[in-house]
Structure 1
Amino acid sequence: MVTNHYQFFFILCIGFYYLIDKTEESIRPRYMETIEESLNDTTHVLSAIVEEEIKKNPNERFQLPSLVKRLFQKPFQNVRKRSFEAKIYSLLKTNADIQIYVTDSKGIVIFDSEDFREGLDYSKYNDVYLTLKGKYGVRSSKMFDSEKEGALFIASPIHYQNEIIGVLTVIKPKIGVIPFIEEAKNKFWRISLLVASSIAIVFTILAYISFRPIIRLSQYVISLRNQEKKPFPKLGIKELNDLGKEVDQLVSELEGKKYVESYVQTLTHEIKSPLSSILASVELIESHPNEIHRLSKTMEAEAKRIQSLIDQLLELSSLEGKKSIELDDQINLVPFLEGVIHRFEIELERKNLRVKKNFPNDVFQIKGNESYLKMAIENILRNAIEFANPKDQITIQLELIGQSHTKLIVSDEGQSIPNFALAKVTEKFFSLPRPSDKRKSSGLGLSIVKEILDLHQAEFTIRNLDPKGVEVSIQFQNF
């Protein structure tokens, strides 16, 4: 969906560029049209002045060359000499570049403000030719061969009693218009780029606002599929929020059904062995009453095993049902770990195990749930004790990883974990035989540890040491 929207944005950009490119191309003809319209007014005003003089003295029509020279020669000579500064928008104009010439009824130039066209036959040029035909006379052409841009020639007729007796043409060199056109183009591109940038920023913001909840929901659904512990995100859009909660509810119901089926099967399998042992002990008591003390101890041990299994299952199911827990306890890990180690003093003495504590700093502060975290660390330390050999050393150390993480490492010198089992030790009901009596545990301890650490958003790793032993590391975020 995000890709499709960016494709749409890309197409929109191409369309926008095409639009402004075509608009930029139209600036020049629009400017020329404006200039042409002004020149058209100017030439009609000038021809009207000539006509008014002829009306005053009709004989002037026979001396048209002298009349137009009298009217226009000195004013144009004067304007060419005039110096001025006119700030027209951002451009400075310092001289007038407008020109005129007048032809008679045959198209012969009888007056030229620049004094080089007089006597030339312009009857074939469109401005003169069309005007003499009673049409609108205009042309765009070069005045000199060296010119690049040329000029606009706009003509109007000089009438006497509905007869065209001459043509007056106003000339505007394009070189005087080009700076305005270029400035207009540059300004247009600046504004267009500003508008395009604004549209891009607004589109990006809107896309971020629109797509962020969708991305969050997608990531949450992926986390559900991967069975990760993540709280339901804040989406901000009611419809998406409702959809996400419905998906969450559906997944929870499907997982709950599968979860119950799995637990019933596993619990039945795990309880079968201790129950068989209890039933066998009951039968032996009837036939061997003198063994009642030993058999009752066996029955008690198996019953406690079942009780422990049920307690752990209930604890694990409670943890698995949580997507988040309160992590409001400020935990100083040094005294916290001292308390956990003290809890196992008897077991440590019984196996003659040494504990080496490596706490280089008195303050290793994290936020978490103290009761759950204590349960997890106790399970890890219990495993280290059970798999250690007599007189082995268990090392517990703390490290600061930059400013953002704290690492707790628990290592022992006992037997290594077989390679095939390394990826399975945190799975429910997977257990390895203890070196002391070759018996297996419930296989729930490390599953509980993993669930608790996932809820703490901590990184949990287990690896073998060389030449023997196991290292368990937990990396906490420093909130």
Structure 2
Amino acid sequence: MVTNYHQFFFILSIGFYYLIDKTEESIRPRYMETIEESLNDTTHVLSAIVEERINSNPNERFHLKSLVESLFRKPFQIVRNRSFEAKIYSLLKTNADLQIYITDANGIVIFDSESYREGLDYSKYNDVYLTLKGKYGVRSSKMIETEKEGALFIASPIRFQNQIIGVLTVIKPKIGVIPFIEEAKHKFWRISLLVASSIAIVFSLLAYISFRPILSLSQYITALRNKEKNPFPKLGMKELNELGKEVDQLVVELEGKKYVESYVQTLTHEVKSPLSSILAAVELIQSHPNEMDRLTKTIDSEAKRIQNLIDQLLELSSLEGKNSIELNDTIDLVSFLNEILFRFEIELERKSLSLKKIFPEGSVMIKGNQNYLRMAIENIIRNSIDFANQNDLITIQLESTSNLQTKLITSDQGQLIPEFALTKVTDKFFSLPRPIGQRKSSGLGLSIVKEILDFHKAELKIQNRSPKGVEVSILFQK
């Protein structure tokens, strides 16, 4: 889904860039069209001034060169020498660069505001050629060979009694227009980037708002598949909430079916051994009444074994059936551990085990579920006692890590865990024989510990020590 979003956003960005780029390319021709329209008005105004003088004194048509000299030479000289400051938008203009030339009816230049064109034959140039033909005369070309951008030439006819007796061309060097075009392009790109950024932000927010519930539901379903304990997310959309709950219920039902099948098979296997011992003891009591005391002890031991297995199965199934547990208790781990360890004093003394506590001064506070944490820690300590040898040392250490996490370490000097079993010790019904009596436990203790710590988002790590013993660490997140 995220990949599709990125692809869509990428395609949208390419399309937006293409639109901006094509629009930017149109700025120059649109600017030149505007300049052309303005020059067209200017040339018609100037030619109208010449026509008005001729109409008021018809003889001046025979002296067109002298007429236009008197009309335009002095004004253009004044304009050339005039300095001014005109701030047009963000650009400063300090001189006029408009030019004109006038030809006679044969296309020979009789007046040039710059002087160097006078006497030249311009009858073949489009501005003059087309105007003499009665058409719209315009061309764009270089004024001199070394010029880079060239100029725009717009012409209009000078008429007397509906006959064209000359052509007046207004010239606008493009070098004066280019700064405005470049500034317009820069401004357009700045605005476009601002608009694009705004659209991207709004689109991302809308996409996040739209896709977040779907992503949350997808993550929740993935967590269910991975058998992680996550509460059902708040999706904020009625339809998705209903769909998510239906999926959740379906997964629960499917998992429940597998769960029951697995537990029935495992429970049958685990109960079979102690039940066989009980039945054998009952038969022996009938044939060997003198061994009643020993056999009843066997029956009692195996019955308690079955009872303990059932109790742990009920506890584990209760935990596995929950998506979350309340973690509202504020627990001081120092006093909490002291309270738990006090309950094991008799067992430690009976087995001649020493206990070493390494606790920091003051309090070490965490949030969690006190009852479940007590069960988990008691299981870990009981395992250390069961697998320890007589006169061994059990160490309980509490420390804070560099990133403000809390670590509880339980270590003993008992037998090592075989390498193949290190990754299996938290599996249901997996257990190793105790050093005394070689009897296995139910194999549910560490499974319960793992479930409880998963709810607390705490990390459980079990590893062998050198040269002997096992270390069990719990890393609590702040």
Same fold by TM-score greater than 0.5: yes
Separation of aligned partners in 2, 1:164 and 1:301? 130
Q: Name the TM-score, length of structure 1 as normaliser.
A: 0.96
- State the secondary structure of the residue aligned to 1:361: coil
C-alpha distance after superposition, 1:60-98 (max 9, x if no partner): 222222222222222222222222111111111111111
What's the counterpart of residue 46 of structure 1?
Answer: 46
Equivalent position amino acid for 2:468 in 1: K
What's the counterpart of residue 120 of structure 1?
Answer: 120
Separation of aligned partners in 1, 2:216 and 2:332? 34
Q: Kindly tell me the number of residue pairs found equivalent between the two proteins.
A: 478
Separation of aligned partners in 2, 1:146 and 1:134? 32
Separation of aligned partners in 2, 1:116 and 1:430? 106
Q: Which moved more, 1:362-371 or 1:277-286?
A: 277-286
- State the secondary structure of the residue aligned to 2:394: strand
Separation of aligned partners in 1, 2:436 and 2:120? 126
What's the counterpart of residue 263 of structure 1?
Answer: 263
Equivalent position amino acid for 1:306 in 2: I
- State the secondary structure of the residue aligned to 1:327: coil
C-alpha distance after superposition, 1:425-458 (max 9, x if no partner): 1111111111111111111111111111111111
The structural deviation recorded for 1:243 is: 2.5
Separation of aligned partners in 1, 2:82 and 2:283? 133
The structural deviation recorded for 1:391 is: 0.8
Q: Which moved more, 1:67-76 or 1:257-266?
A: 67-76
Structure 1 gap ranges (5+) = none
Equivalent position amino acid for 1:45 in 2: V
Structure 2 residue 155 is the aligned partner of structure 1 residue 162: no
- State the secondary structure of the residue aligned to 1:290: helix
What's the counterpart of residue 224 of structure 1?
Answer: 224
What's the counterpart of residue 400 of structure 1?
Answer: 400
Separation of aligned partners in 2, 1:55 and 1:312? 120
What's the counterpart of residue 374 of structure 1?
Answer: 374
Q: Name the TM-score, length of structure 2 as normaliser.
A: 0.96
* 1:404/1:323 CA distance change after superposition, 3 Å: farther
Structure 2 residue 183 is the aligned partner of structure 1 residue 183: yes
Separation of aligned partners in 2, 1:275 and 1:13? 72
What's the counterpart of residue 33 of structure 2?
Answer: 33
Structure 2 residue 58 is the aligned partner of structure 1 residue 55: no
Separation of aligned partners in 2, 1:316 and 1:356? 31
Structure 2 gap ranges (5+) = none
- State the secondary structure of the residue aligned to 2:262: helix
The structural deviation recorded for 1:195 is: 2.2
Q: Which moved more, 1:292-301 or 1:77-86?
A: 292-301
The structural deviation recorded for 1:281 is: 2.1
Separation of aligned partners in 1, 2:16 and 2:236? 32
Separation of aligned partners in 1, 2:31 and 2:431? 88
Equivalent position amino acid for 1:44 in 2: H
1:429-448 alignment to 2 at 5 Å? 429-448=429-448
Structure 2 residue 110 is the aligned partner of structure 1 residue 105: no
Equivalent position amino acid for 1:24 in 2: E
What's the counterpart of residue 359 of structure 2?
Answer: 359
- State the secondary structure of the residue aligned to 1:457: coil
What's the counterpart of residue 292 of structure 1?
Answer: 292
Separation of aligned partners in 2, 1:428 and 1:329? 28
Separation of aligned partners in 1, 2:265 and 2:476? 35
Equivalent position amino acid for 2:24 in 1: E
The structural deviation recorded for 1:322 is: 1.1
What's the counterpart of residue 327 of structure 1?
Answer: 327
C-alpha distance after superposition, 1:159-194 (max 9, x if no partner): 112111111111111111111111111212222222
Equivalent position amino acid for 2:398 in 1: L
Q: Which moved more, 1:419-428 or 1:291-300?
A: 291-300
What's the counterpart of residue 22 of structure 1?
Answer: 22
C-alpha distance after superposition, 1:208-257 (max 9, x if no partner): 33343333333222221221222222333333333322222111110001
What's the counterpart of residue 76 of structure 1?
Answer: 76
1:454-469 alignment to 2 at 5 Å? 454-469=454-469
What's the counterpart of residue 313 of structure 2?
Answer: 313
Equivalent position amino acid for 2:457 in 1: Q
Q: Which moved more, 1:109-118 or 1:428-437?
A: 109-118
Separation of aligned partners in 2, 1:4 and 1:451? 36
The structural deviation recorded for 1:384 is: 0.8
- State the secondary structure of the residue aligned to 1:415: coil
What's the counterpart of residue 233 of structure 1?
Answer: 233
The structural deviation recorded for 1:355 is: 0.4
What's the counterpart of residue 415 of structure 1?
Answer: 415
Structure 2 residue 93 is the aligned partner of structure 1 residue 93: yes
The structural deviation recorded for 1:21 is: 2.0
Separation of aligned partners in 2, 1:151 and 1:348? 104
Equivalent position amino acid for 1:339 in 2: E
The structural deviation recorded for 1:403 is: 4.4
- State the secondary structure of the residue aligned to 1:29: helix
- State the secondary structure of the residue aligned to 1:257: helix
- State the secondary structure of the residue aligned to 2:26: helix
The structural deviation recorded for 1:319 is: 0.6
Structure 2 residue 273 is the aligned partner of structure 1 residue 273: yes
Equivalent position amino acid for 1:472 in 2: V
What's the counterpart of residue 450 of structure 2?
Answer: 450
Equivalent position amino acid for 1:77 in 2: Q
Separation of aligned partners in 2, 1:281 and 1:78? 132
The structural deviation recorded for 1:115 is: 2.2
- State the secondary structure of the residue aligned to 1:324: coil
The structural deviation recorded for 1:402 is: 2.4
Q: Which moved more, 1:48-57 or 1:349-358?
A: 48-57
Q: Which moved more, 1:15-24 or 1:361-370?
A: 15-24
What's the counterpart of residue 250 of structure 2?
Answer: 250
- State the secondary structure of the residue aligned to 1:313: helix
Separation of aligned partners in 2, 1:144 and 1:428? 94
Separation of aligned partners in 2, 1:364 and 1:26? 70
Separation of aligned partners in 2, 1:326 and 1:390? 39
Equivalent position amino acid for 1:467 in 2: P
1:194-233 alignment to 2 at 5 Å? 194-233=194-233
Separation of aligned partners in 2, 1:174 and 1:275? 105
Q: Which moved more, 1:449-458 or 1:216-225?
A: 216-225
- State the secondary structure of the residue aligned to 1:92: strand
Q: Which moved more, 1:266-275 or 1:372-381?
A: 266-275
Equivalent position amino acid for 1:119 in 2: G
- State the secondary structure of the residue aligned to 1:399: strand
Equivalent position amino acid for 2:210 in 1: S
Equivalent position amino acid for 2:339 in 1: G
Separation of aligned partners in 2, 1:433 and 1:80? 110
Q: Which moved more, 1:215-224 or 1:303-312?
A: 215-224
Equivalent position amino acid for 2:471 in 1: E
- State the secondary structure of the residue aligned to 1:381: helix
- State the secondary structure of the residue aligned to 1:295: helix
Equivalent position amino acid for 1:289 in 2: P
Separation of aligned partners in 1, 2:155 and 2:435? 115
- State the secondary structure of the residue aligned to 1:69: helix
